[in-house]
């Protein structure tokens, strides 16, 4: 894999916190037969040495810029680092190529797109070849919201040997045409799991059902509920906890 196009590079500093270098890159994918953009955030303090990595997935009708533009990713990440959290590279892939919501899986509703294959066979190797990432289960986590919450749970169950933690915000857990998460609950040695959802979210009932299934299968998990609905006001409240959880989980 190679970098096809460098779209954007700049540095941003939150008040009282360190700056970050932010790349928007397009990755050439043979599996998807197109270029797919992604946002990569590298703390300035960590430039030149290897750091753990968080893959942060967006929701339906969104793109790789959402966590930065809507979720205040860089200020929160800089504040977390300033508060003593581990420096980490944060990667936001585009899970809706050409504006199509495909739930981060292959052949979603028969569309013949191989996004999951692209993610594991092309995208992660690209990130780990082009950025100073500590490659290993103990230094790789995944998180996301809504559709990306589904994607993070799916990827964590599919490849538990690759991720130390999954943090799913307002996750979709039962999607027609996508893999059945309930059928994957027998997976061994799963990463740590947090599900956080608002009590007024339209997905609250399905999240509760999935939480019960996790418990019934003996799968350790953290389940956070609080006031809120399916919107960015809620997800911005998730982000500081998400960053702290993965930071605390990452190996030194």
pTM of the model: 0.92
CA distances from 191 to 143, 159, 252 (A): 12, 9, 17
Q: Torsion-angle region of residue 136: left (phi > 0), alpha (psi -120 to 50) or beta?
A: left
Question: Residue 45 — very low, low, confident or very high, per pLDDT cuts 50/70/90?
Answer: low
What pLDDT is recorded for position 248? 96
Q: Is the pLDDT of residue 18 over 60?
A: no
Which residue do the tokens 């569309």 mark?
111
Sequence-ordered strand ranges (E) for the chain? 3-13, 19-29, 34-43, 53-57, 89-93, 140-145, 165-169, 192-198, 222-226
Mean pLDDT score of the chain = 90
Helix (H) or strand (E) holding 25: strand 19-29
What pLDDT is recorded for position 15? 34
Q: What percentage of residues in the chain have a pLDDT greater than 90?
A: 79
CA distances from 146 to 42, 124, 151, 231 (A): 25, 21, 9, 10
What pLDDT is recorded for position 77? 84
- Rounded mean pLDDT, 56-68: 96
Separation of alpha carbons 138 and 132, rounded Å: 15
What pLDDT is recorded for position 95? 96
Structure-block tokens of residue 155:
């990827």
Helices and strands in the chain, H and E counts = 7, 9
Cβ 126 vs Cβ 40: under 8 Å: no
Q: Is the pLDDT of residue 238 over 90?
A: yes
- Rounded mean pLDDT, 60-83: 88
Which residue do the tokens 């589904």 mark?
150
Burial (Cβ within 10 Å: 0-12, 13-18, ≥19) of residue 120: middle
């Amino acid at each position: 894999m190679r970098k096809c196009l460098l779209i954007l590079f700049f540095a941003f500093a939150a008040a009282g916190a360190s700056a970050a270098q932010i790349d928007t890159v397009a990755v050439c994918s043979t599996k998807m037969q197109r270029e797919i953009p992604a946002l990569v955030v590298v703390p300035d303090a960590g430039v030149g040495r290897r750091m753990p990595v968080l893959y942060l997935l967006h929701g339906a009708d969104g793109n790789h810029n959402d966590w930065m533009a809507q979720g205040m990713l860089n200020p929160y990440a800089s504040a977390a680092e300033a508060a003593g959290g581990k420096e980490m590279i944060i990667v936001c892939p585009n899970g809706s190529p050409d504006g199509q919501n495909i739930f981060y899986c292959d052949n979603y509703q028969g569309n013949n797109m191989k996004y999951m294959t692209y993610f594991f066979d092309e995208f992660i190797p690209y990130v780990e070849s082009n950025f100073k990432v500590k490659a290993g289960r103990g230094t790789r986590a995944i998180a996301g919201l809504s559709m990306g919450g589904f994607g993070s749970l799916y990827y964590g169950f599919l490849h538990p040997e690759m991720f130390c933690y999954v943090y799913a915000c307002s996750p979709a857990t039962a999607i027609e045409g996508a893999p059945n998460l309930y059928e994957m609950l027998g997976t061994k040695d799963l990463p740590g799991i947090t599900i956080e959802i608002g009590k007024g979210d339209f997905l609250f009932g399905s999240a509760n059902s999935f939480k019960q299934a996790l418990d019934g299968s003996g799968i350790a998990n953290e389940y956070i509920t609080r006031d809120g609905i399916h919107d960015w006001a809620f997800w911005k409240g998730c982000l500081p906890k998400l960053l702290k959880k993965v930071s605390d989980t990452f190996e030194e």
